[in-house]
Amino acid sequence: MSVPAARGGLENLALSRKEDFQTFVDAPRRQQPDLLLRAQLAALPGERRSAYDRVRREWHANLGPLRTPQLASLHEDLWDIVDSNVQDGDKAKGAVAVDAFPGLGKTTAVLAFAREFHRREIAELGAFTAQGHERWPVCRVGLTGNTGMKDLNRAMLEFFGHPGRQTSTAAQLGLQALDCVLSCEVRLLILDDLHFLKWHKTSGVEVSNHLKWIANEFPVTLLKVGVGLADKGLFSEGETVGETVLAQTGRRTTRLDMPPFTIDTDLGRRHWRQLLLALEQRIVLADAHPGMLADDLSDYLFARSTGHIGSLMTLINRGCQRAQRTGTERLTQDLLDRVKNDAAAEQARQELAYALQSGKATSRPRRTGGAG
């Protein structure tokens, strides 16, 4: 039995600089640790055992990304849009907004896409542009609390490690960012957590204008990611502020959703089951058995996560850590009951748990219902 070394390195990535992004793109897939039976576990000598446990902890903390139907369909849409955006530079390009509630996997799906896109572009076009600059097909900026226009421009320069990022005015910063984007031949500009942009009365128009300027001047597909972007008036044909400006932004932006899992249709229940089956195969616990999640815990896990992948993954990750630490070596309702989940999931749980227990609802598809 081989115990792969703990990897280290990736946990400190903030992905706000191109070098970090490169590391993320180049990181090989994690290797799933071998599954050991209880007797084999017990037979491992001290330091081999702790090395094995360390590798398993790291593995369970990073289960994913799974190719969920939501992720797959988002990727298909993104390929359509990005690949259709290769018109010549003088035409404004279509923008995309991934707008959905927290914890539904927006960032995960978008980064997985960015990684594939980066790899494809580099493989096809080479690591350097014709002018001899490094090629960076993707620029990704994560916004933080109450970012203004200037901070946004600065964050773009920060990604490229541009020296002008400390001193200049907002407009200068914007032009410098444009310069980086042009010389590095960026094709996809991702603004994650865009809802953090200052979006109040007067700055609503300013924001909208700025995004429009980026969309017009930068030869990129602008990919906006955030929560409640529609409510902020990003796509509305008027109403909120500066009617025409916003209408224009709305007309050019395609809105993509990341819905939660649902159990009110058979198709939805089948997707939920497939997710659990895929997840099961990645769990490395000595007493895990096929059907541990998909058959035994399907309703329970749905109630506790309300179909939100973020809450589900948190619960499974913490459950696996506990199962490993306490020697339970499998996931049961008893064990998971003692694991805390995020506040939103806990709050939504009660009502749903009641419906599921009383048989008013089920999370299992018809064919596999009942005994599974």
Rule CB under 6 A: is residue 4 a binding residue for ligand ATP? no
Q: Determine contact, residues 70/327, Cβ cutoff 8 Å.
A: no
Q: Quick one: how far is CA 278 from the chain centroid?
A: 18
Cα separation of 134 and 114, whole Å? 17
Cα separation of 335 and 80, whole Å? 44
Nearest approach, Cβ of residue 278 and ligand ATP (Å): 9
Nearest approach, Cβ of residue 258 and ligand ATP (Å): 6
Nearest approach, Cβ of residue 142 and Mg ion (Å): 8
* Local structure of 357: helix, strand or coil: helix
301's contact among Mg ion, ligand ATP, none, with CB below 5 to 8 A by partner kind, is none
148's contact among ligand ATP, Mg ion, none, with CB below 5 to 8 A by partner kind, is none
Rule CB under 6 A: is residue 105 a binding residue for ligand ATP? yes
- List the structure tokens of 156: 């773009």
Q: Which stretch binds ligand ATP (CB under 6 A): 44-52, 78-86, 98-106, 200-208?
A: 98-106
Q: In the bound complex, which residue of the shown chain has the CB atom lying closest to Mg ion?
A: 107
Q: Quick one: how far is CA 289 from the chain centroid?
A: 29
Considering the complex, state which of residue 68 and residue 324 has its C-beta at the smaller distance from ligand ATP. 68
Nearest approach, Cβ of residue 80 and ligand ATP (Å): 20
Q: Which of 33, 94, 103, 319 binds ligand ATP (CB under 6 A)?
A: 103
Q: How far is CA 281 from CA 55, 158, 194, 310, in A?
A: 17, 40, 35, 18
Q: Which stretch binds ligand ATP (CB under 6 A): 66-74, 151-159, 280-288, 342-350?
A: 66-74
Q: Which of 30, 53, 57, 64 binds ligand ATP (CB under 6 A)?
A: 64
Closest CA to 259 of 326, 308, 209, 315: 308
Closest CA to 340 of 366, 360, 361, 314: 314
Tracing tokens 């596999």 back to the chain, one arrives at 368
Identity of the amino acid at 7 = R
Rule CB under 6 A: is residue 306 a binding residue for ligand ATP? no
Nearest approach, Cβ of residue 100 and ligand ATP (Å): 6
- List the structure tokens of 204: 């609503």
Closest CA to 217 of 180, 247, 243, 164: 180
Nearest approach, Cβ of residue 342 and ligand ATP (Å): 10
Cα separation of 157 and 292, whole Å? 48
Cα separation of 92 and 156, whole Å? 20
CA angle 85, 27, 256 (to 5 degrees): 35
Q: Which of 4, 65, 69, 164 binds ligand ATP (CB under 6 A)?
A: 65
Q: Determine contact, residues 329/58, Cβ cutoff 8 Å.
A: no
Q: Which of 70, 107, 306, 311 binds Mg ion (CB under 5 A)?
A: 107
Nearest approach, Cβ of residue 144 and ligand ATP (Å): 12
Q: What residues between 233 and 292 interact with ligand ATP by CB under 6 A?
A: none
Nearest approach, Cβ of residue 159 and Mg ion (Å): 17
Q: Which of 18, 56, 93, 106 binds ligand ATP (CB under 6 A)?
A: 106
* Site size with Mg ion, rule: CB under 5 A: 1
Q: What residues between 199 and 218 interact with ligand ATP by CB under 6 A?
A: none
CA 306, 311, 313, 319 dihedral sign is negative
Nearest approach, Cβ of residue 31 and ligand ATP (Å): 17
Rule CB under 6 A: is residue 104 a binding residue for ligand ATP? yes
Cα separation of 236 and 182, whole Å? 30
Rule CB under 6 A: is residue 344 a binding residue for ligand ATP? no
Rule CB under 6 A: is residue 68 a binding residue for ligand ATP? yes
Rule CB under 6 A: is residue 107 a binding residue for ligand ATP? yes
186 contacts: CB under 8 Å, gap ≥ 6: 136, 137, 138, 139, 180, 218, 220
Q: Which residues bind ligand ATP (CB under 6 A)?
A: 64-66, 68, 71, 102-108, 193, 227, 309-310, 313
Question: Using CB under 5 A as the criterion, which residues of the chain lie in contact with Mg ion when the complex forms?
Answer: 107
